[in-house]
Amino acid sequence: MESIIDACDGFFNLPEEEKQEYEGKHVLDPIRCGTSFNTAVEKVFSWRDFLKVFVHPVFHSPSKPAGFSESLSEYSKRTREVARELLKGISESLGLEADYIDKALNLEQGHQVNVANFYPPCAQPELAMGLPSHSDHGLLTLLIENGVSGLQVQHKGKWVNLNSFPSSFLVNTGDHLQILSNGKYKSVLHRAIVNNKTTRISIAMQHGPSLESVVSPAPELLDRENAEPAYIGIKYKEYLELQQSNKLDGRSCLDRIRI
């Protein structure tokens, strides 16, 4: 965990011109970095640099700084094992076979994205937001941070601070777990706030279905509970494009596919 945080810190500290080559624009660009300093998002100012890299099924990585790619490759493999194991337990908790999600959503080819966020100290943290309210689109996100808190999740309509625990993952459930479980698992709304003292780095490893999987509420679950599906089926890739076109306005892209 320390190694990947140091590696990402190294990337964000590269000279601007070395980072520029990765300034992709499209949601399906495999390496995309950018900054949202001074960009008005709704009425708040967003205060972060980010680097998003597709690490599976095809591994991509920036070539700098030295050692970055090795560290990212190792971290991607290890977190993928953890996520697939957690999803077995989640399948069972839904009364499905342990490998149900793994097979139905073709996790062997699962779309895995490493999102590194860099939030420098902000002189007026009350006027800015690190990352505005959103839900993650995949199944599970494994999040770590550099010992500096800033993540908030929405619980019963209120924003709750989550403090980091050393050497542990904070696991967020994503939109596609909500779709597959027909709403039994809720995709959590969350955001990141900034502070005026210390740089915060967070690394959100997102684990999703394969891009070609069409995800809908599990038919086995609906049959057993005699329930109607709450969402239409949609290809994961199309959902990502839909989310890109839908500004992060605190509403989930899920609302767009609800029946």
Contacting positions for Fe ion (CB under 5 A): 136
Integer Cα distance of 193 and 125 in angstroms: 8
Quick one: 62 or 130, whose CB is closer to ligand AKG?
Answer: 130
Binding site partner of 117, from Fe ion, ligand AKG, none, Cβ cut-off 5-8 A by kind = ligand AKG
Other beta carbons within 10 angstroms of residue 146's beta carbon come to 18
Question: In the complex with ligand AKG, which residue's Cβ is closer, 93 or 196?
Answer: 196
**Sites for ligand AKG among residues 135-174 (CB under 6 A):** 136, 143, 150-151
To Fe ion, the closest distance from the beta carbon of 190 in angstroms equals: 6
State in Å, rounded, how far the first CA of the chain is from the last one: 40
Q: Long-range pairs for 23-30 at CB < 8 Å and ≥24 separation?
A: 26/244, 27/240, 27/241, 27/243, 27/244, 28/237, 28/240, 28/241, 30/54, 30/58, 30/60
Q: Considering the rule CB under 6 A, would residue 202 count as an interface residue with ligand AKG?
A: yes
Q: Which is nearer to ligand AKG, 8 or 107 (CB)?
A: 8
Total number of residues binding ligand AKG (CB under 6 A)? 11
115 lies in the site for ligand AKG, by CB under 6 A: yes
Which residue from 142, 192, 218, 240 is in contact with ligand AKG, where contact means CB under 6 A? Answer: 192
Residue 138 interacting partner from ligand AKG, Fe ion, none (CB closer than 5 to 8 Å by kind): none
Of 203-232, which residues contact ligand AKG (CB under 6 A)?
204
Task: Report the residue number whose CB is nearest to ligand AKG.
Answer: 202
Are the C-beta atoms of residues 217 and 231 closer than 8 Å to each other? yes
Q: Which is nearer to ligand AKG, 98 or 159 (CB)?
A: 159
- What distance in Å separates the CA atoms of residue 148 and residue 163, rounded to the nearest whole number? 8
> Which of 32, 190, 207, 237 is in the footprint of ligand AKG by CB under 6 A?
190
- Residues in the chain, overall count: 259
- Beta bridge partners, 258, equal 231
Query: Which residue is it, tokens 């790619």?
Result: 69
| Amino acid type, 94 | L
154 CB-contact burial (10 Å; exposed 0-12 / middle 13-18 / buried 19+): middle
Question: Which of 131, 140, 189, 240 is the binder for ligand AKG (CB under 6 A)?
Answer: 131
Binding site for ligand AKG (CB under 6 A): 115, 117, 131, 136, 143, 150-151, 190, 192, 202, 204
